[in-house]
């Protein structure tokens, strides 16, 4: 379903992704763990070309690009198959909740406005914000704002949703409601790649856990294998610190 092969990325002289290979099956939830600076966010951003990878191949469904050669059309096609949920929500401040969700459907997908509105209301109800359609982001809690971010991604009907530390900017008491929404949509079989430090979530919801350090995948496996029987010393040390 999603296959990354040999993805590299450098910022100046610093190579932050050293050749990442990763396979994600349809409907799977993959959680990426790792210390700060290990390249997790950069990897997510490379998958939908918010960062341009150096080398490697990205395949999503029946579409594949060779990163070294990707042109505008390839990038557009890749972006159309993915959606991102950001740590800091990245909502339009001057647009309402409903307008935030409709924006991508109308502007990028060129969906007729009425269809886009119906679709947006449907996903906003799904994340528990059916009553907040006309509110502005500043009138919402962080948890509600992030649920708008999730609705916006869902509305696009992507083949995969990429979550970049979706709860790390939230006050602790708001983390639960956002994780509950992610859990619920995971159950619907939407393919997800989630960068998070929420170990409880990783244990319960992930089908597959990947541990990154220094721009490489050090170890990967089922949550059970990774949390109960990590093989690599670096994984053991990381888990000891975080759990």
Q: Which stretch binds ligand ADP (CB under 6 A): 37-45, 102-110, 126-134, 203-211?
A: 37-45
User: Which token pair is 160?
Assistant: 């995969």
Q: Is 41 in the site for ligand ADP (CB under 6 A)?
A: yes
Q: Is 38 in the site for ligand ADP (CB under 6 A)?
A: yes
Q: Are strands 29-33 and 57-60 parallel, antiparallel or unpaired?
A: unpaired
Q: Which stretch binds ligand ADP (CB under 6 A): 35-43, 52-60, 144-152, 198-206?
A: 35-43
Q: Is 36 in the site for ligand ADP (CB under 6 A)?
A: yes
CB 46 within 8 A of CB 16: no
Sign of CA dihedral 152, 154, 160, 166: positive
User: Which token pair is 192?
Assistant: 């997800």
Residue 22 CB: number of other CB atoms within 10 A? 19
Please, which of residues 14-33 interact with ligand ADP by CB under 6 A?
16
Element (H, E) at 27: none
Q: Is 146 in the site for ligand ADP (CB under 6 A)?
A: no
Q: Is 110 in the site for ligand ADP (CB under 6 A)?
A: no
Per DSSP, 137 falls in state: G
User: Which token pair is 216?
Assistant: 């490489």
Please, which of residues 42-81 interact with ligand ADP by CB under 6 A?
42
Q: Is 93 in the site for ligand ADP (CB under 6 A)?
A: no
**Counting runs of H as helices and runs of E as strands, what totals does the chain give?**
9, 10
Q: How many residues sit close enough to ligand ADP to count as binding (CB under 6 A)?
A: 10
Q: Is 37 in the site for ligand ADP (CB under 6 A)?
A: yes
Q: How far is the CB of 46 from ligand ADP (least distance, A)?
A: 9
The residue among 65, 34, 56, 25 whose CA lies nearest residue 160 is: 25
Q: Is 34 in the site for ligand ADP (CB under 6 A)?
A: yes
- How many whole angstroms separate alpha carbon 194 and alpha carbon 209? 10
CB 97 within 8 A of CB 124: yes
3-class secondary-structure state, position 192: strand
Q: How far is the CB of 41 from ligand ADP (least distance, A)?
A: 3
Nearer to ligand ADP, 16 or 85 (CB): 16
Order of strands across the sheet that contains 57-60: 14-24, 2-11, 57-60, 63-66
Q: Which stretch binds ligand ADP (CB under 6 A): 34-42, 91-99, 127-135, 177-185?
A: 34-42
Q: How far is the CB of 28 from ligand ADP (least distance, A)?
A: 21
Please, which of residues 177-236 interact with ligand ADP by CB under 6 A?
none
Nearer to ligand ADP, 36 or 138 (CB): 36
Q: Which residues bind ligand ADP (CB under 6 A)?
A: 11, 16, 34, 36-42
């Amino acid at each position: 379903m999603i296959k990354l092969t040999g993805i590299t990325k450098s910022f100046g002289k610093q190579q932050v992704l050293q050749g990442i290979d990763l396979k994600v099956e349809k409907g799977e939830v993959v959680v990426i763990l790792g210390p700060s600076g290990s390249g997790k966010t950069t990897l997510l951003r490379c998958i939908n070309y918010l960062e341009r990878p150096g080398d490697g191949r990205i395949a999503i469904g029946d579409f594949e690009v060779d990163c070294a050669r990707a042109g505008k059309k390839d990038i557009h096609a890749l972006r159309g198959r993915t959606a991102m949920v950001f740590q800091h929500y990245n909502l339009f401040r001057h647009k309402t909740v409903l307008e935030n969700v409709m924006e991508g459907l109308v502007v990028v997908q060129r969906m007729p406005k009425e269809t886009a509105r119906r679709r947006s209301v449907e996903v906003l109800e799904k994340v528990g914000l059916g009553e907040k359609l006309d509110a502005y982001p500043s009138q919402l809690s962080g948890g509600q704002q992030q649920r708008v971010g999730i609705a916006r991604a869902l509305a696009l009907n992507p083949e995969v949703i990429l979550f970049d530390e979706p709860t790390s900017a939230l006050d602790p008491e708001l983390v639960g409601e956002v994780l509950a929404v992610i859990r619920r949509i995971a159950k619907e079989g939407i393919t997800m790649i989630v960068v998070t430090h929420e170990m409880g979530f990783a244990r319960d919801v992930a089908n597959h856990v990947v541990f990154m350090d220094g721009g490489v995948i050090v170890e990967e496996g089922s949550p059970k294998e990774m949390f109960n029987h990590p093989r690599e010393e670096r994984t053991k040390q990381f888990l000891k610190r975080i759990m």
